[in-house]
Amino acid sequence: MSTRTTQQWQAADAAHFLHPFTDFQSLAKRGSRVIERASDIYLWDTDGKKILDAMSGLWCVNVGYGQRALIDAATRQLETLPFYNAFFQTATPPAIELAELLAEVTPPQFQHVFFSGSGSEGNDTVVRMVRRYWDILGQPERQVIVSRHNAYHGSTMAGASLGGMAGMHAQGGLPIPGIVHIDQPYWFENGADLSRDEFGLACARQLEAKILELGADKVAAFIGEPIQGAGGVIVPPATYWPEIQRICDQYGVLLVSDEVITGFGRTGRWFGCETMGTKPDLLTFAKGVTSGYIPLGGVMVGERVARVLIERGGEFNHGYTYSGHPVACAVALANIRLVREQNLVERVRTDVGPYLAEAYAQLAEHPLVGEAQTCGLMGALLLVKDKSGPRGGAPFPGELELGMVCRGHCFREGLIMRAVGDRMIIAPPLIITRAQIDEMLVLIRRCLDLTLADVRKNGWDH
Ligand code: PXG
Protein backbone atom coordinates (compact mmCIF):
# COMPACT_ATOMS: atom_id res chain seq x y z
CA MET A 1 0.00 0.00 0.00
CA SER A 2 1.13 3.48 -0.87
CA THR A 3 2.32 5.74 1.90
CA ARG A 4 0.79 8.76 0.10
CA THR A 5 -2.21 9.32 -2.14
CA THR A 6 -1.71 9.52 -5.89
CA GLN A 7 -2.34 13.25 -5.75
CA GLN A 8 0.30 13.72 -3.09
CA TRP A 9 2.82 11.75 -5.14
CA GLN A 10 1.99 13.80 -8.23
CA ALA A 11 2.38 17.09 -6.38
CA ALA A 12 5.81 16.17 -5.02
CA ASP A 13 6.83 14.79 -8.41
CA ALA A 14 5.82 18.00 -10.18
CA ALA A 15 7.62 20.08 -7.56
CA HIS A 16 11.03 18.39 -7.81
CA PHE A 17 11.50 15.68 -10.44
CA LEU A 18 12.59 16.63 -13.97
CA HIS A 19 11.71 13.55 -16.04
CA PRO A 20 13.70 12.38 -19.08
CA PHE A 21 12.35 13.29 -22.54
CA THR A 22 9.47 15.23 -21.00
CA ASP A 23 7.74 18.57 -21.40
CA PHE A 24 8.08 19.47 -17.73
CA GLN A 25 5.30 22.02 -17.62
CA SER A 26 2.67 19.94 -19.35
CA LEU A 27 3.47 16.87 -17.23
CA ALA A 28 3.24 18.96 -14.05
CA LYS A 29 -0.26 20.01 -15.09
CA ARG A 30 -1.38 16.51 -16.01
CA GLY A 31 0.38 14.59 -13.24
CA SER A 32 2.49 11.46 -13.64
CA ARG A 33 1.12 7.98 -13.44
CA VAL A 34 2.99 6.60 -10.46
CA ILE A 35 3.92 2.94 -10.77
CA GLU A 36 4.31 1.34 -7.40
CA ARG A 37 4.89 -2.37 -7.77
CA ALA A 38 5.10 -5.17 -10.31
CA SER A 39 4.98 -8.90 -10.73
CA ASP A 40 5.50 -11.17 -13.75
CA ILE A 41 4.38 -9.01 -16.72
CA TYR A 42 2.05 -6.73 -14.76
CA LEU A 43 2.40 -3.34 -13.07
CA TRP A 44 0.21 -1.65 -10.48
CA ASP A 45 -0.08 2.12 -10.13
CA THR A 46 -0.82 4.06 -6.94
CA ASP A 47 -4.55 3.89 -7.71
CA GLY A 48 -4.25 0.12 -7.56
CA LYS A 49 -4.86 -0.22 -11.30
CA LYS A 50 -3.32 -3.30 -12.93
CA ILE A 51 -1.50 -2.76 -16.22
CA LEU A 52 -0.11 -5.30 -18.70
CA ASP A 53 3.43 -4.12 -19.47
CA ALA A 54 3.90 -4.87 -23.14
CA MET A 55 7.09 -2.73 -23.19
CA SER A 56 9.10 -4.66 -20.56
CA GLY A 57 9.65 -1.49 -18.56
CA LEU A 58 11.61 0.22 -21.30
CA TRP A 59 12.66 -2.71 -23.49
CA CYS A 60 14.56 -4.27 -20.62
CA VAL A 61 12.67 -6.43 -18.10
CA ASN A 62 13.14 -9.54 -20.24
CA VAL A 63 12.72 -12.07 -17.41
CA GLY A 64 9.71 -10.24 -15.99
CA TYR A 65 9.25 -8.68 -12.58
CA GLY A 66 9.88 -10.30 -9.20
CA GLN A 67 12.48 -12.91 -10.17
CA ARG A 68 13.84 -14.25 -6.90
CA ALA A 69 17.21 -15.33 -8.35
CA LEU A 70 18.07 -11.76 -9.36
CA ILE A 71 16.89 -10.28 -6.09
CA ASP A 72 18.93 -12.80 -4.09
CA ALA A 73 22.02 -12.27 -6.24
CA ALA A 74 21.86 -8.52 -5.60
CA THR A 75 21.27 -8.98 -1.87
CA ARG A 76 24.13 -11.44 -1.49
CA GLN A 77 26.55 -9.24 -3.41
CA LEU A 78 25.50 -6.12 -1.47
CA GLU A 79 26.32 -7.98 1.72
CA THR A 80 29.64 -9.39 0.48
CA LEU A 81 31.06 -6.47 -1.47
CA PRO A 82 28.72 -3.66 -2.53
CA PHE A 83 31.39 -1.87 -4.53
CA TYR A 84 34.91 -2.04 -5.66
CA ASN A 85 36.43 -0.49 -8.77
CA ALA A 86 38.38 -2.07 -11.61
CA PHE A 87 40.73 0.83 -12.32
CA PHE A 88 43.94 0.23 -10.45
CA GLN A 89 44.88 -3.32 -11.31
CA THR A 90 41.98 -4.72 -9.32
CA ALA A 91 38.90 -6.75 -10.19
CA THR A 92 35.97 -8.42 -8.43
CA PRO A 93 34.72 -11.99 -8.85
CA PRO A 94 31.29 -11.05 -10.33
CA ALA A 95 32.87 -8.80 -12.98
CA ILE A 96 35.35 -11.51 -13.99
CA GLU A 97 32.68 -14.19 -14.08
CA LEU A 98 30.33 -12.01 -16.11
CA ALA A 99 33.08 -11.19 -18.63
CA GLU A 100 33.63 -14.92 -19.01
CA LEU A 101 29.93 -15.68 -19.41
CA LEU A 102 29.41 -12.87 -21.93
CA ALA A 103 32.25 -14.27 -24.03
CA GLU A 104 30.32 -17.54 -24.00
CA VAL A 105 26.84 -16.28 -24.97
CA THR A 106 27.92 -13.69 -27.56
CA PRO A 107 29.12 -14.69 -31.07
CA PRO A 108 32.57 -16.33 -31.17
CA GLN A 109 34.53 -13.27 -32.33
CA PHE A 110 33.81 -11.69 -28.94
CA GLN A 111 36.21 -12.69 -26.18
CA HIS A 112 36.50 -9.37 -24.35
CA VAL A 113 34.15 -6.87 -22.77
CA PHE A 114 34.41 -3.25 -21.61
CA PHE A 115 31.77 -2.44 -18.98
CA SER A 116 29.79 0.77 -18.65
CA GLY A 117 26.76 1.82 -16.64
CA SER A 118 24.31 2.22 -19.52
CA GLY A 119 23.77 1.92 -23.25
CA SER A 120 24.61 5.57 -23.83
CA GLU A 121 27.91 5.20 -22.02
CA GLY A 122 28.55 2.01 -23.97
CA ASN A 123 28.22 3.97 -27.21
CA ASP A 124 30.50 6.69 -25.87
CA THR A 125 33.01 3.92 -25.32
CA VAL A 126 32.45 2.78 -28.91
CA VAL A 127 33.36 6.23 -30.25
CA ARG A 128 36.48 6.41 -28.10
CA MET A 129 37.47 2.85 -28.93
CA VAL A 130 37.07 2.86 -32.71
CA ARG A 131 39.01 6.10 -32.97
CA ARG A 132 41.71 4.73 -30.70
CA TYR A 133 41.88 1.56 -32.80
CA TRP A 134 42.60 3.45 -36.02
CA ASP A 135 44.99 5.73 -34.20
CA ILE A 136 47.05 2.77 -32.96
CA LEU A 137 47.09 1.41 -36.51
CA GLY A 138 48.64 4.67 -37.71
CA GLN A 139 45.48 6.00 -39.36
CA PRO A 140 44.43 8.77 -36.95
CA GLU A 141 42.48 10.55 -39.67
CA ARG A 142 40.12 7.59 -39.85
CA GLN A 143 37.58 9.17 -37.48
CA VAL A 144 34.16 9.35 -39.09
CA ILE A 145 31.38 7.13 -37.83
CA VAL A 146 28.41 6.60 -40.13
CA SER A 147 25.00 6.12 -38.54
CA ARG A 148 21.41 6.52 -39.70
CA HIS A 149 18.61 9.04 -39.47
CA ASN A 150 16.02 8.02 -36.86
CA ALA A 151 18.51 5.72 -35.13
CA TYR A 152 18.62 5.77 -31.33
CA HIS A 153 21.96 5.26 -29.63
CA GLY A 154 21.45 7.06 -26.33
CA SER A 155 21.35 10.51 -24.86
CA THR A 156 24.90 11.47 -23.88
CA MET A 157 26.74 13.84 -26.23
CA ALA A 158 28.19 10.95 -28.27
CA GLY A 159 25.09 8.74 -27.96
CA ALA A 160 22.75 11.49 -29.12
CA SER A 161 25.16 12.39 -31.92
CA LEU A 162 25.30 8.80 -33.15
CA GLY A 163 21.53 8.74 -32.96
CA GLY A 164 19.64 10.30 -35.80
CA MET A 165 16.85 12.02 -33.91
CA ALA A 166 16.39 15.52 -35.32
CA GLY A 167 14.74 16.75 -32.13
CA MET A 168 17.79 15.75 -30.11
CA HIS A 169 20.29 17.27 -32.54
CA ALA A 170 18.36 20.54 -32.37
CA GLN A 171 19.16 20.90 -28.67
CA GLY A 172 22.79 21.33 -27.61
CA GLY A 173 24.70 21.74 -30.85
CA LEU A 174 24.73 18.12 -32.00
CA PRO A 175 25.97 16.03 -33.63
CA ILE A 176 29.55 16.34 -32.42
CA PRO A 177 32.12 16.41 -35.26
CA GLY A 178 32.89 13.24 -37.18
CA ILE A 179 29.47 11.64 -37.11
CA VAL A 180 27.35 11.53 -40.27
CA HIS A 181 23.97 9.95 -41.08
CA ILE A 182 22.49 8.07 -44.00
CA ASP A 183 18.83 7.08 -44.48
CA GLN A 184 17.10 4.47 -42.35
CA PRO A 185 15.82 1.28 -44.02
CA TYR A 186 12.15 2.20 -43.53
CA TRP A 187 10.38 0.93 -46.62
CA PHE A 188 6.93 2.29 -45.76
CA GLU A 189 8.15 5.86 -45.53
CA ASN A 190 11.05 5.94 -47.99
CA GLY A 191 10.48 3.00 -50.32
CA ALA A 192 9.12 5.04 -53.26
CA ASP A 193 8.32 2.57 -56.05
CA LEU A 194 10.98 0.01 -55.12
CA SER A 195 10.15 -3.48 -53.86
CA ARG A 196 11.13 -4.16 -50.24
CA ASP A 197 14.23 -6.04 -51.31
CA GLU A 198 15.30 -3.48 -53.90
CA PHE A 199 14.86 -0.76 -51.31
CA GLY A 200 16.94 -2.67 -48.76
CA LEU A 201 19.85 -2.83 -51.21
CA ALA A 202 19.51 0.78 -52.29
CA CYS A 203 19.42 1.92 -48.70
CA ALA A 204 22.49 -0.10 -47.71
CA ARG A 205 24.36 1.28 -50.73
CA GLN A 206 24.00 4.75 -49.29
CA LEU A 207 26.74 3.59 -46.93
CA GLU A 208 28.99 2.80 -49.87
CA ALA A 209 28.22 6.17 -51.45
CA LYS A 210 29.03 7.91 -48.17
CA ILE A 211 32.33 6.03 -47.81
CA LEU A 212 33.30 6.97 -51.38
CA GLU A 213 32.28 10.58 -50.82
CA LEU A 214 34.34 10.93 -47.61
CA GLY A 215 37.15 8.59 -48.67
CA ALA A 216 37.53 5.13 -47.13
CA ASP A 217 40.64 6.38 -45.32
CA LYS A 218 38.41 8.71 -43.29
CA VAL A 219 35.67 6.28 -42.25
CA ALA A 220 36.20 4.45 -38.98
CA ALA A 221 32.94 2.58 -38.44
CA PHE A 222 29.29 2.08 -39.22
CA ILE A 223 26.84 1.70 -36.34
CA GLY A 224 23.28 0.38 -36.47
CA GLU A 225 20.59 -1.30 -34.42
CA PRO A 226 19.77 -4.65 -36.08
CA ILE A 227 16.14 -3.55 -35.74
CA GLN A 228 15.51 0.08 -34.85
CA GLY A 229 13.73 0.14 -31.50
CA ALA A 230 12.98 3.67 -30.32
CA GLY A 231 12.67 4.62 -34.01
CA GLY A 232 9.51 2.49 -34.20
CA VAL A 233 10.44 -1.21 -34.40
CA ILE A 234 11.53 -0.94 -38.01
CA VAL A 235 12.45 -4.37 -39.34
CA PRO A 236 14.72 -3.80 -42.35
CA PRO A 237 14.27 -5.64 -45.65
CA ALA A 238 16.11 -8.99 -45.73
CA THR A 239 18.60 -7.62 -48.27
CA TYR A 240 19.75 -4.76 -46.04
CA TRP A 241 22.17 -6.20 -43.47
CA PRO A 242 24.02 -8.60 -45.79
CA GLU A 243 24.77 -5.66 -48.07
CA ILE A 244 25.92 -3.51 -45.14
CA GLN A 245 28.25 -6.35 -44.13
CA ARG A 246 29.61 -6.62 -47.67
CA ILE A 247 30.34 -2.88 -47.78
CA CYS A 248 32.02 -2.80 -44.35
CA ASP A 249 34.20 -5.76 -45.37
CA GLN A 250 35.11 -4.26 -48.70
CA TYR A 251 36.27 -0.93 -47.26
CA GLY A 252 37.67 -2.26 -43.97
CA VAL A 253 35.13 -0.20 -42.00
CA LEU A 254 34.36 -1.50 -38.49
CA LEU A 255 30.80 -2.73 -38.00
CA VAL A 256 29.14 -1.86 -34.69
CA SER A 257 25.91 -3.60 -33.73
CA ASP A 258 23.99 -1.64 -31.11
CA GLU A 259 22.16 -4.43 -29.31
CA VAL A 260 20.90 -2.47 -26.31
CA ILE A 261 17.37 -3.56 -27.27
CA THR A 262 17.98 -6.57 -29.52
CA GLY A 263 20.44 -8.32 -27.20
CA PHE A 264 19.77 -11.26 -24.89
CA GLY A 265 17.03 -13.00 -26.81
CA ARG A 266 14.65 -10.26 -27.91
CA THR A 267 14.76 -11.31 -31.59
CA GLY A 268 14.78 -15.07 -30.96
CA ARG A 269 18.56 -15.43 -31.05
CA TRP A 270 20.92 -14.35 -28.32
CA PHE A 271 21.82 -11.27 -30.37
CA GLY A 272 20.15 -9.42 -33.22
CA CYS A 273 23.28 -9.69 -35.37
CA GLU A 274 22.74 -13.45 -35.38
CA THR A 275 19.16 -12.95 -36.59
CA MET A 276 20.41 -10.55 -39.29
CA GLY A 277 23.46 -12.64 -40.22
CA THR A 278 26.15 -10.01 -39.60
CA LYS A 279 29.53 -10.37 -37.91
CA PRO A 280 30.09 -7.13 -36.01
CA ASP A 281 33.45 -5.98 -34.65
CA LEU A 282 31.87 -4.26 -31.65
CA LEU A 283 28.53 -4.86 -29.95
CA THR A 284 26.88 -2.48 -27.49
CA PHE A 285 24.61 -3.94 -24.81
CA ALA A 286 22.66 -2.76 -21.73
CA LYS A 287 19.02 -3.19 -20.64
CA GLY A 288 18.40 -6.94 -21.04
CA VAL A 289 21.83 -7.86 -19.63
CA THR A 290 20.32 -7.37 -16.14
CA SER A 291 16.68 -7.34 -17.27
CA GLY A 292 16.79 -3.74 -16.05
CA TYR A 293 16.88 -4.76 -12.38
CA ILE A 294 20.00 -2.65 -11.97
CA PRO A 295 21.91 -0.44 -14.43
CA LEU A 296 24.65 -2.06 -16.48
CA GLY A 297 25.93 -1.68 -20.01
CA GLY A 298 29.02 -2.34 -22.02
CA VAL A 299 30.71 -3.11 -25.29
CA MET A 300 31.74 -6.52 -26.52
CA VAL A 301 35.05 -6.09 -28.31
CA GLY A 302 35.74 -8.39 -31.24
CA GLU A 303 39.15 -9.98 -31.65
CA ARG A 304 40.08 -7.72 -34.58
CA VAL A 305 39.87 -4.68 -32.31
CA ALA A 306 40.82 -6.33 -29.02
CA ARG A 307 44.14 -7.68 -30.33
CA VAL A 308 45.21 -4.21 -31.46
CA LEU A 309 44.15 -2.52 -28.22
CA ILE A 310 45.76 -5.19 -26.06
CA GLU A 311 48.97 -5.88 -27.97
CA ARG A 312 49.78 -2.49 -29.42
CA GLY A 313 47.72 0.09 -27.58
CA GLY A 314 49.33 0.78 -24.23
CA GLU A 315 47.01 2.49 -21.77
CA PHE A 316 43.45 3.22 -22.98
CA ASN A 317 42.55 6.44 -21.17
CA HIS A 318 38.89 5.70 -20.67
CA GLY A 319 36.62 4.17 -18.02
CA TYR A 320 33.77 4.75 -15.61
CA THR A 321 33.53 4.46 -11.82
CA TYR A 322 30.93 1.78 -12.32
CA SER A 323 32.74 -0.20 -15.05
CA GLY A 324 32.23 -3.74 -13.76
CA HIS A 325 30.13 -2.77 -10.72
CA PRO A 326 30.03 -5.99 -8.65
CA VAL A 327 26.33 -5.81 -7.73
CA ALA A 328 25.28 -5.08 -11.31
CA CYS A 329 27.50 -7.90 -12.57
CA ALA A 330 26.11 -10.32 -9.98
CA VAL A 331 22.57 -9.51 -11.11
CA ALA A 332 23.58 -9.91 -14.77
CA LEU A 333 25.05 -13.33 -14.02
CA ALA A 334 21.83 -14.46 -12.32
CA ASN A 335 19.78 -12.99 -15.15
CA ILE A 336 21.73 -14.66 -17.97
CA ARG A 337 21.71 -17.98 -16.13
CA LEU A 338 17.94 -17.69 -15.75
CA VAL A 339 17.51 -16.91 -19.45
CA ARG A 340 19.52 -20.06 -20.15
CA GLU A 341 17.78 -22.31 -17.63
CA GLN A 342 14.35 -21.30 -18.85
CA ASN A 343 15.37 -21.58 -22.50
CA LEU A 344 13.89 -18.14 -23.08
CA VAL A 345 15.80 -17.44 -26.30
CA GLU A 346 14.68 -20.67 -27.89
CA ARG A 347 11.13 -20.09 -26.63
CA VAL A 348 11.06 -16.73 -28.39
CA ARG A 349 12.40 -18.26 -31.61
CA THR A 350 10.22 -21.35 -31.79
CA ASP A 351 7.16 -20.73 -29.62
CA VAL A 352 5.97 -17.32 -28.42
CA GLY A 353 7.69 -15.39 -31.26
CA PRO A 354 5.93 -17.30 -34.05
CA TYR A 355 2.71 -17.21 -32.00
CA LEU A 356 2.90 -13.41 -31.82
CA ALA A 357 3.75 -13.23 -35.53
CA GLU A 358 0.61 -15.22 -36.38
CA ALA A 359 -1.55 -12.98 -34.22
CA TYR A 360 -0.04 -9.88 -35.80
CA ALA A 361 -0.71 -11.26 -39.28
CA GLN A 362 -4.39 -11.34 -38.26
CA LEU A 363 -4.21 -7.83 -36.82
CA ALA A 364 -3.00 -6.65 -40.21
CA GLU A 365 -6.60 -7.16 -41.37
CA HIS A 366 -7.82 -4.46 -39.01
CA PRO A 367 -9.09 -1.43 -40.96
CA LEU A 368 -6.61 0.91 -39.21
CA VAL A 369 -3.52 -1.25 -39.65
CA GLY A 370 -1.39 -0.72 -42.77
CA GLU A 371 1.61 -2.76 -41.68
CA ALA A 372 2.01 -5.33 -38.91
CA GLN A 373 5.59 -6.44 -38.30
CA THR A 374 7.21 -8.62 -35.69
CA CYS A 375 10.64 -10.07 -35.10
CA GLY A 376 10.90 -12.33 -32.07
CA LEU A 377 9.11 -10.39 -29.35
CA MET A 378 9.26 -6.96 -30.96
CA GLY A 379 6.16 -5.82 -32.79
CA ALA A 380 4.85 -2.78 -34.63
CA LEU A 381 1.43 -1.83 -35.97
CA LEU A 382 1.31 1.13 -38.33
CA LEU A 383 -1.95 3.07 -38.17
CA VAL A 384 -3.01 4.24 -41.64
CA LYS A 385 -5.82 6.28 -43.07
CA ASP A 386 -6.27 4.38 -46.28
CA LYS A 387 -5.16 0.78 -46.58
CA SER A 388 -5.20 0.89 -50.36
CA GLY A 389 -2.35 3.43 -50.39
CA PRO A 390 1.21 2.54 -51.50
CA ARG A 391 3.11 -0.11 -49.50
CA GLY A 392 0.02 -0.96 -47.43
CA GLY A 393 -1.48 2.42 -46.61
CA ALA A 394 -1.57 6.18 -46.74
CA PRO A 395 -0.59 7.91 -43.50
CA PHE A 396 -2.76 10.13 -41.36
CA PRO A 397 -1.60 13.74 -41.15
CA GLY A 398 1.20 13.91 -38.56
CA GLU A 399 -0.41 16.77 -36.63
CA LEU A 400 -3.34 14.50 -35.78
CA GLU A 401 -0.98 12.42 -33.58
CA LEU A 402 -3.23 9.40 -33.92
CA GLY A 403 -0.62 7.23 -32.22
CA MET A 404 -1.07 9.33 -29.08
CA VAL A 405 -4.84 8.93 -29.31
CA CYS A 406 -4.38 5.17 -29.45
CA ARG A 407 -1.86 5.28 -26.62
CA GLY A 408 -4.43 7.16 -24.51
CA HIS A 409 -6.85 4.28 -24.98
CA CYS A 410 -4.11 1.80 -24.02
CA PHE A 411 -3.48 3.71 -20.79
CA ARG A 412 -7.15 3.64 -19.86
CA GLU A 413 -7.55 -0.02 -20.83
CA GLY A 414 -4.58 -1.16 -18.73
CA LEU A 415 -2.02 -1.82 -21.46
CA ILE A 416 1.39 -0.27 -21.96
CA MET A 417 2.04 0.03 -25.66
CA ARG A 418 4.27 2.81 -27.01
CA ALA A 419 3.48 5.17 -29.87
CA VAL A 420 6.27 6.30 -32.20
CA GLY A 421 4.43 8.60 -34.55
CA ASP A 422 1.65 6.34 -35.78
CA ARG A 423 3.59 3.13 -35.14
CA MET A 424 2.24 1.33 -32.08
CA ILE A 425 5.02 -0.79 -30.69
CA ILE A 426 5.47 -3.59 -28.20
CA ALA A 427 8.35 -5.55 -26.71
CA PRO A 428 6.84 -7.70 -23.95
CA PRO A 429 8.90 -9.67 -21.41
CA LEU A 430 10.38 -12.84 -22.91
CA ILE A 431 8.61 -14.90 -20.21
CA ILE A 432 5.19 -13.97 -21.61
CA THR A 433 3.01 -17.06 -22.16
CA ARG A 434 0.70 -17.81 -25.07
CA ALA A 435 -2.29 -17.17 -22.81
CA GLN A 436 -0.85 -13.79 -21.87
CA ILE A 437 -0.25 -12.99 -25.54
CA ASP A 438 -3.94 -13.72 -26.11
CA GLU A 439 -4.81 -11.41 -23.25
CA MET A 440 -2.54 -8.70 -24.66
CA LEU A 441 -4.12 -9.06 -28.09
CA VAL A 442 -7.63 -8.61 -26.71
CA LEU A 443 -6.44 -5.31 -25.23
CA ILE A 444 -4.62 -4.25 -28.39
CA ARG A 445 -7.66 -5.00 -30.55
CA ARG A 446 -9.93 -3.12 -28.17
CA CYS A 447 -7.63 -0.08 -28.29
CA LEU A 448 -7.50 -0.21 -32.09
CA ASP A 449 -11.33 -0.40 -32.21
CA LEU A 450 -11.66 2.55 -29.85
CA THR A 451 -9.19 4.52 -31.96
CA LEU A 452 -11.08 3.61 -35.13
CA ALA A 453 -14.30 4.80 -33.51
CA ASP A 454 -12.59 8.16 -32.80
CA VAL A 455 -11.40 8.35 -36.38
CA ARG A 456 -14.90 7.77 -37.76
CA LYS A 457 -16.67 10.01 -35.26
CA ASN A 458 -14.35 12.90 -36.07
CA GLY A 459 -14.19 12.27 -39.80
CA TRP A 460 -10.38 11.97 -39.70
CA ASP A 461 -10.54 9.35 -42.43
CA HIS A 462 -11.81 11.86 -44.99
N1 PXG B 1 21.15 2.15 -27.88
C2 PXG B 1 19.92 1.73 -28.15
C3 PXG B 1 19.67 0.90 -29.36
C4 PXG B 1 18.87 2.02 -27.27
O5 PXG B 1 17.63 1.60 -27.56
C6 PXG B 1 20.45 3.21 -25.89
C7 PXG B 1 21.45 2.87 -26.79
C8 PXG B 1 20.84 4.02 -24.69
O9 PXG B 1 20.79 3.24 -23.55
P10 PXG B 1 20.63 3.96 -22.11
O11 PXG B 1 20.82 2.83 -21.17
O12 PXG B 1 21.71 4.96 -21.98
O13 PXG B 1 19.27 4.60 -22.09
C14 PXG B 1 19.15 2.78 -26.12
C15 PXG B 1 18.07 3.13 -25.14
C16 PXG B 1 12.24 4.65 -26.24
C17 PXG B 1 13.51 4.62 -25.48
O18 PXG B 1 11.56 5.68 -26.15
C19 PXG B 1 14.52 3.77 -25.86
C20 PXG B 1 15.73 3.80 -25.15
C21 PXG B 1 15.89 4.63 -24.06
C22 PXG B 1 14.85 5.47 -23.69
C23 PXG B 1 13.66 5.48 -24.39
O24 PXG B 1 11.89 3.71 -26.92
N25 PXG B 1 16.75 3.00 -25.61
383 occurs within a structural domain: yes
9 occurs within a structural domain: no
**Domain match, 155 and 96 both:** yes
27 occurs within a structural domain: no
CA angle 258, 281, 233 (to 5 degrees): 20
Which of 310, 341, 372 marks a domain boundary?
A: 341
367 occurs within a structural domain: yes
Radius of gyration of the chain (CA): 22
28 occurs within a structural domain: no
**Domain match, 316 and 189 both:** yes
6 occurs within a structural domain: no
For 369-425, how does the pLDDT look when each residue is reduced to its tens digit (9 = 90+)? 999 999 999 999 999 999 988 888 899 999 999 999 999 999 999 999 999 999 999
Which of 341, 361, 380 marks a domain boundary?
A: 341
**Domain match, 222 and 253 both:** yes
25 occurs within a structural domain: no
> So what's the pLDDT on residue 2?
75
Please count the CA atoms within 13 angstroms of the CA of 341 that sit on its side-chain side: 8
**Domain match, 325 and 290 both:** yes
**Domain match, 243 and 332 both:** yes
**Domain match, 247 and 386 both:** no
DSSP string, 106-131: S-TTEEEEEEESSHHHHHHHHHHHHH
**Domain match, 304 and 383 both:** no
**Domain match, 110 and 241 both:** yes
**Domain match, 379 and 335 both:** no
Who's near 158: CB < 8 A, 6+ residues apart?
A: 120, 123, 124, 126, 127, 176
For 254-266, how does the pLDDT look when each residue is reduced to its tens digit (9 = 90+)? 999 999 999 999 9
159 CA from centroid of ligand 1 (Å): 9
Task: Supply the CATH number for residue 280's domain.
Answer: 3.40.640.10
213 CA from centroid of ligand 1 (Å): 30
Q: Report, as ranges of residue numbers, the positions in the chain whose pLDDT lies below 50.
A: none
294 CA from centroid of ligand 1 (Å): 15
Q: Among residues 328, 259, 277, 317, which one has the least CA distance to residue 81? A: 328
**Domain match, 423 and 436 both:** yes
> So what's the pLDDT on residue 1?
62
Exposed/middle/buried for residue 42 (C-beta within 10 Å: 0-12, 13-18, 19+): middle
Task: Supply the CATH number for residue 375's domain.
Answer: 3.90.1150.10
Please name the residue whose Cα sits nearest to atom 22 of ligand 1: 58
Q: Which atom of ligand 1 is nearest to the CA of 225?
A: 3
d(CA 367, CA 131): 49
Question: Cβ < 6 Å from ligand 1: which residues?
Answer: 58, 118-120, 123, 152-154, 159, 225, 229-230, 258, 260-261, 286, 297
Provide the residue range defining the domain that includes 113: 68-341
270 CA from centroid of ligand 1 (Å): 18
15 occurs within a structural domain: no
d(CA 186, CA 421): 13
How many domains are contained in the chain? Answer: 2
**Domain match, 427 and 324 both:** no
16 CA from centroid of ligand 1 (Å): 24
pTM for the predicted model, two decimal places: 0.98
**Domain match, 97 and 206 both:** yes
Which of 341, 369, 395 marks a domain boundary?
A: 341
